[in-house]
Structures are given as structure tokens and as C-alpha cells.
Structure 1
């Protein structure tokens, strides 16, 4: 029977984020599954909407599970984390002596030594298993992929939705494409786009990304996929890329060229939909609620610190009568609330842990709820996933209707449970503020169609003209 080794190593690296991503963050990632080894992968990922889960369900061959690890997006991955996890994956695959390999990767990992980290993972694997063994890879829609990566992978599939509701589906497509590649030769084609788009403009809920992804696979190809790229990464291969596979090289090239032309034609249509924070709050207060305000520039799912106070200050300045915000990363505030107890009225400094983006908000708050931070996600992206974010507190600014959920682990709010863990039902409030860029839409659009993308300083600039790039390829334009 055919034996396929399976492994995963995911990270989306924001090279402008202030804090490095350490090995401990992969071991205990909070809302994501913890680092998992061997046969435990079958148990941990059973039923989850994760690419490796979809691959496991769809694959008809004997599977040899090696290791899976993921950390919340952040700054450069440390050498210790990269070398340790990659080394374990390479050794596990070599010991398995498989007939093929499947990798659940992201596509936007960066270390100080390797700006093209996924290609380096494949180089190290190829050095042990040889150049010809089939290697299938599933990737995030925000991957920054290189020509070298394309040459090292046998076949590639990429998420086609943003919010990424098709994690498992993409893994299943990788299983089917690998099966096809093992049965008969496939020819591949790769193209790079020459412009960057802000992540808030990339959502497939809106044009033009909706129409671009609806056009896949197109032509006479067996498979066509496109990564939009992850803009806050100062590397040469930052930006969109296209992967096409077909029975002939002519068909693969034709499909890739067609998709590249569609992407180029869509360039002027991408809209980041950004509004200054104070304006967003005033707009929301004038609208029929609930209205959702996203804080994309402090999105921890893109490397944001999740502790900036720009949106909170805008709510306070406008006198918002009914607003909730989750989740502000502030372990000290959460600890102080737990020490004081429910019902306590305490003076506290909220957020502002990274002064280059914001200052703390000094306020008197009422402790309305406390939690150990353990909950089960229920939304379309991560339904069934077990979160463990450490001590959490629900705080109300005294004398106001503004409530803030403070937590001990930096994590993107992409599920309504990030409020419910603090006893807050988001749909019951006029203004809902989330530390997220787009992923929140998968769950929160079920309670409101009204969404504003507010700008306040943070580590994930969505106005790409403000990013001090030094390593982009010549000719790459910023959307």
C-alpha cells in the first residue's frame, strides 16, 4: 500500500511586528491546536476545519503522521523554533520512508536567515528524500510564494476563500491532486503578480476577489490556485502568485497566463475600505445597530500586538453609549481583575503595551465577569476548536456603556465566543469592535451586515504607502 507522510508547520510572519515568534508560541498557541506529534494528529484534528484534517479524511492511502505546529501570526520566527520544528519534520519523514509527502504549510513564514522559509523547509526535506518523491502542499491564500518554492513542490493547493472557511476543503483538494500526480505526470506553471493589495481589500466576500476566485480553476487545467500575498512582509517575493497544473505544459501555461491577466485587470478595483477610527465611531453611532467596527491594523491574525487603544479612545471620546470590544491583550489587567473579583471597582491601565502604537487608557472599571479563557469556538472557521487563552476579564468603563474584554494570550477575534467567554452576547450591543481584519466576517456577518474598517496605529498597516519596504522586487506596485 502507498504510504504518505503528513506534517504541518504554519506561520504568517509580519516582518514589521515588534516581537519575535518563539518555539513556546508553537507549543502553546492559544486558540489553535497545540504542537501535535505522531498518531495524536488523527485524534486532535478529527472533525476540525484545518487543512490536514481535510487531507486525512480524503486520502485513500496509509498515512504516517509526523508533526503539526502553528503559532499566531507575529514577528520573525526565531532560529530555534524554525530549526527545531523543521528538523523534527524532516527526520520524521525520513524515518517513515514514504512513497509521497503532504505538508500543511502557510506560505508566508519568514526567519532572519530565510526570507523564503517554506522553500527552505522543502529544500531540507528534499535533501533527505530526494528530488523525485511527490510532495503535495496546501497553502494559505496569503502566502508569499517564490519560484524556488514552486520548483521544490510537486503540486500545490491554496485556500480560495477569505475569510478562510475552506481550510479542510483545501487539504482534501491536495489529496486529490496528489493522487492525480502519482497516477500520471502533471505539468506545472507558476506566475507572480506585480502589485500588492491590503488584506482588507482581499476578502472574497467582495469584488474583485470574489470574481477572481470564482474563475478558478478555468481553462483546461487540472488545478489552478492563486495566493493574494501577505503585504506586511519585507521580502522579495511578497505579493500574489499563481499555480497551475495540467496534462500538458501548454495547458498549464495557458491557465496560469489567463489567471494572471484577470488579476492584472482587477488591480484598480481593490478597495481597502479604510475609515479613520474617530470617523468610524461617529458613523456607527448614527447607524442602526448592531454595527461592527474592525481594527485591522491591530489584528493579531496579521502580527498585530492586539493591545493598541486607538479604537477604545475613539469610543470614549465620542461618548459611545453601548459598545463592546474584544479582545485587548493585557495580561496584567486580566490578572488585576481576577485578584479584585466580580463586582469590584478598580483603577487600571488598559492596553498600550507597545508605546510606538498607543498609550494605555487609564480608567476606573467595574469587573463584570471572569473566565479561565477556555472555550469552544462555534463559528464557521474554527467551529469545534478548543481555545485556551488564560485568564480573561470582562470590564465596563465606570459610568459608561463601553465594555472591554481583556485577555492573557494574543489571539484574533474571529468567533463570537471571544465575547461570550466574558458573558457578553455581541448581537445585543449597538457597536461591536473586534481586533481582526477580515476573518471575523465569517461568524459576525450572521448577526450584522454593517461593517466598518477603522484605522488606528498598529503593527499591520493597511495603507501600504506607509510601509517602509526595502526588499521588494523591482517594479512591484503597492495597492
Structure 2
């Protein structure tokens, strides 16, 4: 068959300080730059990303792939109208120029909010549907954090989401999307759909599928693959735990099920929804304040056995933070922490100053706290410039693995017993090579601060003696009750077992 392939990914934190313009999608960062045309089919080979899994599986099945456009940008505030319209325009133009096709596959996120649309993916799918008509199947992969809408479900034949957080199954998800299309080509009848929305929000750090209660919920999800319920078979089911810092009506966990009959899809969706509702109380977790977290880590660190990891979740660039707040770093310095490191701090100005001074120099910097939106001041101090790199390296961990990362000019700075990796581009610290490429061995640290919420657990988790989730200032608010929501649908509880939005 002849399948058009494209993708447009953004996870929007409507409370974040910076928007995603066209340049944010055009540049390389943690993922490749905007791809258009034949290069799209080769760029992603070996990467843990859905489009790579789809391409490999579809080509192995003998299908002809027609490349459209693919791009992503680091999570941030809204996608600008200019960026959305330019990129979607490219995708639609290429689709119209593709000629006769048998299907469309799109690598989407599911939590895109634009300046002019709350439902970015719903609009993309609707425009694609308008071009191809009602009979051509459209299948899309989604992130586990998607805020799924009725418009998305209505305009796709199947939405298939990741089942792990950290997202180590992105390739597998793309392959599952390809398998679903193959089933359609083989005669799978037009599937009935069921969408269930859950009326409470789950903080990102509590959504980790390595820990309870998400772990058992996703194990249960697998039991419905291909299950026969009543008078029909379930072809696909997904649970998306949602992206909570998105102030839109459809923000919340969702279940999307597909089956040969409405009854089969509905029963599968209802059973998973009931399990999620029964687990509500178990999604609450402890949050540490910076001072107590650093003091605990210093008191409990050891000469060996791996670092205590402090997750600076509220400044996570993977959730809309800019990666440049200094609340935890200030505590490391104030409490004279030893064998400690922080990664990755976004500060192009300081990275450039350190590079100009050169390795071995001592340089006075006003570090961090320039764009992160937190009410704090930069750290004004002398730093040793230990090493400078161009920020280009191959990621090797389970999450970013295979991605050629591009952090721009990157500096390894030292102040006392604390080292800081300072980059010129925002990136979530979720791969050991982000430290190792600049000479820091995480296994030799006593304390490691990562600007990440959960993805770090895939590569750093096996090294950690303990993990503390820290509530330091930043736009990815961990206690959702502290966010000033205005547009949630009525009745949604803003925290598990919390107050309902009115």
C-alpha cells in the first residue's frame, strides 16, 4: 500500500514563560530538526521515536511510504499561530501533492495548544481528513501525556498511545500503529470508538509507569489487546494520563478504545476507566522542599553505591520549564555539598562567557535565573571552567537513545564541590551522555540534580540510591492545586482527591 507519513509534535504548558515559534521547530535539539521530503525516511533510523518504529515496520511489510513533513519543539507555552499555520500548511501541501494514497500515518503528541486553537492535534487531523476524505484510514501515535479530545477521535481511525513513562516504548508504539494499519488493509472492519475522560488530574511525577499505581494500570491495559468482550473484539486500547499544566477544557486522563462493535469498545474503556478511578488516592506523593532535600541528600550520601538524585521537576524542559531556575543549585552551594552535580542548566550567555574564558579559567558569572519565570536572582559567583564542548553527542540511554543531541556550546563549571553542566539549548536531563560527554561520571557522584520529572529514571534510575522529587520554583507546577486554572471543565479535581474545578 501507499502510505503518507508525517508528524508534528509539541507538548504545551500554558503556564510556561516562552512560546514555540517556527524556529523552535526548525532547529535540532533533543530530536532532529524539521524534516521534509525523502530525508524524513532515513533521519530517524535507530532512534527511540514513534515515526522510526512505523517506518521500519511499514517498509518491512512492503509498503511504499510517501514522506510529508515531521518536526518537534521542546515543550513550552503555546505554539504560535505563525508556526502552526506554516508547518500544517507544509504538511497539507505535501499531502495534496502526494497523489493517490491508501492511508496516512501521523506521529503526534496529543497535548498541543496554539495561540488560536486549544486543540492543535484535532485541527491537524481535521485538515488531513478534509483532504483525504472519509474512506482513507488515518492512524496516529500519541504520547502517554496526551489530552485527548473528541475532535481527535472523530477524525482518526485509530489513536495509539505509548504505554511507558519514561517513554521507552516509542518505537514499539509506531510499530503498533503500523500493525493496526495492516489489519485495516487485511479487512479489519471499520472500528467502533469509545472515549472516556477521567475527572481528576495526575501530577507528572506521579504518572511514572515504573511505580504504583500506574504500573498495575498499564499491566491491566495489555490484557485487553485482542480481547473478545461480549459480541466483539477489541483491536486497540490506550490510556493517556494527560498533561496537567494545560489550562484547557479537555485536560485530563483519557481512555480510547477501538473494537468490532460499540459494546466491545465501550466495555474495555469502561473497565480501564473504573480502574483509574479506583486508583485516585494512590496518585498522591511526597514533594520535598529544596533546603530539606539537599540537607537529606548530604546527610545520607555515601562514598559509593550511586548518587541520591533530586528531580528538579518544576523546571523540567520536557514539561515547559526553561531549565534555568537556580533554587536547588543555590541550596547545594549554601550547604557546601560535595561530589554534587546539576544538569542541564540552560544559560547561553554564561556558556558563551565560559567558552570565551577557556578551559582552566576562573570566571565571574551571573548564572541562571534569566528566562525561567521564577522569582529569583542569578547566582553571582566565581566559577572554574573545567571543560567546554560543542554540545554534540550521541545519546545512548533507553529514552533518548540513538538521538544525535545538539545542546550548542556547553560548559562544565565548578564551584566548591558542585559542578554544573550549562548548555546553550534547552534539554531535559534524561541521558547519561549529557554528563559523560563533558567528563562527569554520574556513578561517582554523591548527589545529582536533574532538570527532569520522570524520563531521567530510564537511564539514571538504575544508578540511584534514592530519588527525591523536589518542589523548587518553576513553571511545571508539581502541586496542581497551586495553578490558577481558568478553562478546565467543571467538576475536574485539580489533584487526586482534591478540590473540583467550579
1:209 corresponds in structure 2 to: 214
Instruction: Indicate conservation of the 8 Å contact 1:280/1:454, yes or no.
Output: yes
Q: Secondary structure at the match of 1:406?
A: strand
Instruction: Indicate conservation of the 8 Å contact 1:155/1:181, yes or no.
Output: no
Task: Using the TM superposition, name which of 311-320 and 213-222 deviates more.
Answer: 213-222
Of residues 401, 404, 416 in structure 1, which corresponds to 2:432? 416
Q: Secondary structure at the match of 2:105?
A: strand
1:396 corresponds in structure 2 to: 414
2:390 corresponds in structure 1 to: 372
Aligned pairs, how many?
A: 476
**Rounded Cα–Cα distance in structure 2 between residues aligned with 1:112 and 1:27:** 18
Instruction: Indicate conservation of the 8 Å contact 1:275/1:455, yes or no.
Output: yes
Aligned pairs for 1:107-118 (under 5 A) are 107-118=110-121
1:416-471 C-alpha deviation (Å, 9 max, x unpaired): 11111221111111001111010000000121241111111101001000000000
Aligned pairs for 1:280-299 (under 5 A) are 280-289=293-302, 290-299=307-316
Q: Secondary structure at the match of 1:368?
A: strand
2:253 corresponds in structure 1 to: 240
1:255 corresponds in structure 2 to: 268
**Rounded Cα–Cα distance in structure 1 between residues aligned with 2:494 and 2:215:** 20
Task: Using the TM superposition, name which of 434-443 and 418-427 deviates more.
Answer: 418-427
Aligned pairs for 1:126-141 (under 5 A) are 126-141=129-144
**Rounded Cα–Cα distance in structure 1 between residues aligned with 2:314 and 2:39:** 36
Aligned pairs for 1:216-227 (under 5 A) are 216-217=221-222, 218=224, 219-220=227-228, 221-227=234-240
1:53-97 C-alpha deviation (Å, 9 max, x unpaired): 111111222111111100110111011110111111112122223
Of residues 412, 427, 434 in structure 1, which corresponds to 2:443? 427
Instruction: Indicate conservation of the 8 Å contact 1:199/1:272, yes or no.
Output: no
Q: Does 1:184 align with 2:179?
A: no
Q: Secondary structure at the match of 2:25?
A: helix
Q: Secondary structure at the match of 1:215?
A: helix
Query: Over aligned residues, Cα RMSD in angstroms?
Result: 1.1
Q: Does 1:76 align with 2:78?
A: yes
- Consecutive unaligned residues of structure 1, counting only runs of 5 or more, are none
1:309 corresponds in structure 2 to: 326
Q: Secondary structure at the match of 2:114?
A: coil
Of residues 261, 267, 276 in structure 1, which corresponds to 2:289? 276
2:178 corresponds in structure 1 to: 175
1:66 corresponds in structure 2 to: 68
2:203 corresponds in structure 1 to: 198
Of residues 99, 120, 127 in structure 2, which corresponds to 1:124? 127
**Rounded Cα–Cα distance in structure 2 between residues aligned with 1:345 and 1:410:** 25
Post-superposition offset of 1:222: 1.8
Q: Secondary structure at the match of 1:171?
A: helix
Instruction: Indicate conservation of the 8 Å contact 2:301/2:447, yes or no.
Output: no
Task: Using the TM superposition, name which of 160-169 and 29-38 deviates more.
Answer: 29-38
What TM-score comes out, normalization by structure 2 length? 0.93
What TM-score comes out, normalization by structure 1 length? 0.97
